[in-house]
Each structure stands twice: as C-alpha cells, then as structure tokens.
Amino acid sequence: MALVPCQVLRAAILLSYCSILCNYKAIDMPAHQTYGGSWKFLTFIDLVIQAVFFGICVLTDLSSLLTKGNDSQEQERQLKKLISLRDWMMAVLAFPVGVFVVTMFWSIYIYDRELVYPKLLDNFIPAWLNHGMHTTVLPFVLIEMRTTHHQYPSRSCGLAAVCTFAVGYILWVCWIHHVTGVWVYPLLEHLSPGVKVVFFAAVTVIINMFYLVGEVLNNYIWDTQK
C-alpha cells in the first residue's frame, strides 16, 4: 500500500482511539471514582497503548515525509530511533496486549458475561463503545501489521518485556485488592487462592504466546528471510 493511504489510515485509527478514550472517560461510572480509577482495567490501559502506538506511527510517517530528500544525517538518525520505538511498541505491547484483551474478553463474555462485563454496565457503556474497546482493536492492529513491516527485537528481550508487563499488571490488580478488598474483575471473586495463582500464570503464558504469534505472523506476511 502506498505511503499516503497508509498515513491517512493510521491517522483515522488514531482519531478513532482518541474519540473512544474521550467518550469512555466522559462516562460517569462508579468504578471510575474508586481506587485506581480507569487505570485498574486492562481494557483502558490497552486503549492508551494503542492510541500512543498509532500516534507514534503517524509521527513516524510525518517525519519520513519531511526528511524525504533531505541529506541531514541527524534527522535520519532521529527517524531511525522513532521507527525503532514504533516497532518495539508493536511487538511488545500493541499486538500481544491488544489481541489478549479482545480474545480474553469475548471468550469470558460468551461463557458468562457477568464474570467480566456485568449487564449493569450496559446502562453506562453503549454497544458501539464496547466494540470500540473490545473488538476493533484486533482488526486495527492487523491492518497495521499488514501495511507496515515491523522489526521485532530478539525473542528473549521481547518475551522478557512482555512478561514484565504481564507480571506488573497482575501485581497492580493484587495491590488494588489489598487496598480495597475488591477484585477488579468479578471472575477473580469466584477463584480460590491456589486457582488464582494458576490463572495468573496461565494469563502470563497466553500473552507471551500472542507475542510469538505476532512475530511469526509478521515474518509470514513480509517473508523477512527473502
């Protein structure tokens, strides 16, 4: 796909995430007023990740256009740093976290929505916003992967970064429970301590698997060995 259409596409996706975030933050939900606010939900964290990532994509495209035909080595060096940051975010955060949020949310929702998205939330969050948070993330990140080749870090560094994010969020959820006595997700209320440990371990493994899926898919699409 040509550069200009890609720019327009990324800009449109960025604007959609900004709209989703603004509409979500404007909702007067009791959960937003409690300890941790919106930041206790992985869905909100993922929305911020996606918005920042596509913001960097747009910035990279603009920088590429501005430096095109320019012989400045300093500008070229800064552009390469920006591209490296974009690729790292795609590999470690945007793809694995985004795919994890979509697959886990809808898997649990289909089984029993009360465990992850109680029906009470329908009074606060319209259907279009729910899909903006939990559905469109997947096609958006796949479109980005298809239109742009991303250089993945070494597998050990990538997996270490993903594990750090997963463990960090799990510790954050546990800390919120320690402070408030309430689990962020109703699902955790139904699990015994031992099962919670297994569940958290499984979550970490799954998100690492999505990192590997992203790496394989990126290589398959772009056939980097050729």
- Over its length of 226 residues, how does the chain's per-residue pLDDT go in tens digits? 444 578 889 999 999 999 999 999 888 888 788 898 999 999 999 999 999 999 999 999 988 887 776 767 777 888 899 999 999 999 999 999 999 999 999 999 999 998 889 898 888 899 999 999 999 999 999 999 999 999 999 999 999 999 999 999 999 999 999 999 999 998 999 899 999 999 999 999 999 999 999 999 999 998 854 4
Which residues are within 8 A (CB) of 36 and not within 5 positions of it... i.e. 6 or more apart?
Answer: 172, 176, 184
CB 79, CB 64: distance < 8 Å: yes
CB 11, CB 58: distance < 8 Å: yes
Name the nearest CA neighbour of 47 among 126, 117, 134: 134
The end-to-end CA distance of the chain, in Å, is 19
Name the nearest CA neighbour of 177 among 33, 47, 34: 34
Nearest-angstrom CA–CA distance, 164 and 62: 31
Nearest-angstrom CA–CA distance, 101 and 199: 15
